[in-house]
Amino acid sequence: MAMKQVANSAIKAIANSGSSSLLARRLHASPGSKKIVGVFYKANEYFTKNPNFVGCVEGALGLRQWLESQGHQYIVTDDKEGPGCELEKHIPDLHVLISTPFHPAYVTAERIKKAKNLQLLLTAGIGSDHVDLKAAAEAGLTVAEVTGSNVVSVAEDELMRILILVRNFVPGYHQVITGDWNVAGIAYRAYDLEGKTVGTIGAGRIGKLLLQRLKPFNCNLLYHDRVKIDPELEKQTGAKFEEDLDAMLPKCDIIVINMPLTEKTRGMFDKDRIAKMKKGVLIVNNARGAIMDTQAVADACSSGHIAGYSGDVWYPQPAPKDHPWRYMPNQAMTPHISGTTIDAQLRYAAGVKDMLERYFKGEDFPEQNYIVKAGELAPQYR
């Protein structure tokens, strides 16, 4: 039954793409033991400090015993860059590649071409832009993620970052650890959140949760998206829809980026668009670093046009030591951590296991998890 479903899927995709190589890739895949490679960040000494720390190399999503007991080969590494890296050694014969947004394995068209046995790309978390989705679709691969697994984690983190910027928290923290005490050096640019206008660019699962969490702070809430949110949620939060993004930007004291990285959104916030924002704007970006023009953000922070920038997403990741966001003023940046809380790890580990079980049985995944299916991209990535 499983092989019949794979064959039917291949034939359907060929009808859509006209590619004969797709049929060969699908039908020549082994129905038995699979080679599965996971790419995660290393925990080192921190692994032993929490038994639920599963989202790292050492924890391996808690899948090793289960996979190996079924005869599958499971290789886990953090070494993902360069021609001699550990991941590259396994590209030619792996069947499944699991990665995370926090330590992404960049799956380029070149890697896809080399991966003759590859069938499935899974993201342990949300956001599959580390994959060349067009190349994956053309190759007939399935790309899926654990939709919803860390939306609460990211929304909470965004709220924290808004407050950190508004209250000018970071300079105060630095004063404490350096033995200083200068209240004026903090208070001159510390504000209340109440009464400020906050706009989220993107109102999907995370954006909606953020709007709900901001409601008790008595802010003026705006949102921009392709479609309006449910009228009941609009009423509940008091959020107002802004169809024209450029018209919304100068209204906002605080802007939160909550859109996926696509070819349309890559570099979307360049020098010209940032100039349309209110002088002294605060920006939180836990979406993707490449949505922003890196140097334009650094320049605007240096000039004061952006009064504060916080987020956990960079491009590339890990961020190089000379990345300009490390050194720009008025930033509250961290490594990519918002969606990899212990609670989130347990959710996305369970979601990956569920999809692997379905994959082995030849069953479909939950529809909302698909990013690429039968040669078609999910709507948010088109």
Residues taking part in catalysis: 150, 288, 317, 336
Token code pair at residue 209:
């949760």
Q: 99: which 2 tokens?
A: 């990665």
Length of the chain: 382
Kindly report the number of other CB atoms within 10 A of residue 103's CB atom.
Answer: 21
Binding residues: 126, 150, 205-206, 225, 260-264, 286, 312, 336-339
Three-state SS for 116?
Answer: coil
Residue 196 gets the label, from left (phi > 0), alpha (psi -120 to 50) or beta, of beta
Is residue 314 within 8 A of residue 289, CB to CB? The reply is: yes
Amino acid at 18: G
Q: Which of 190, 245, 242, 247 is nearest to 221 (CA)?
A: 242
Which residue ranges are tagged as binding site for NAD(+)? 205-206, 225, 260-264, 286, 312, 336-339
- Amino acid at site 345: Q
Q: 305, 268, 318: which is closest to 130 by C-alpha?
A: 318
CA 366 from centroid of its chain's CA atoms: 19
Task: Say if strands 370-373 and 142-145 run parallel, antiparallel, or are unpaired.
Answer: antiparallel
Backbone φ, ψ for residue 319 (5° rounding): -70, 135
Binding site members for substrate: 126, 150
Q: Please say whether the beta carbons of 127 and 153 come within 8 A.
A: no
Burial (0-12, 13-18, 19+ Cβ within 10 Å), 208: buried
C-alpha torsion sign, points 263, 267, 273, 274: positive
Distance of alpha carbon 361 from alpha carbon 355, whole angstroms? 10
39 touches 87 (CB < 8 A): yes
- Tokens 């409601």 identify what position? 215
Give, as one character, the DSSP assignment of residue 233: H
> Cβ-count burial of 131 within 10 angstroms (0-12 exposed, 13-18 middle, 19+ buried)?
buried
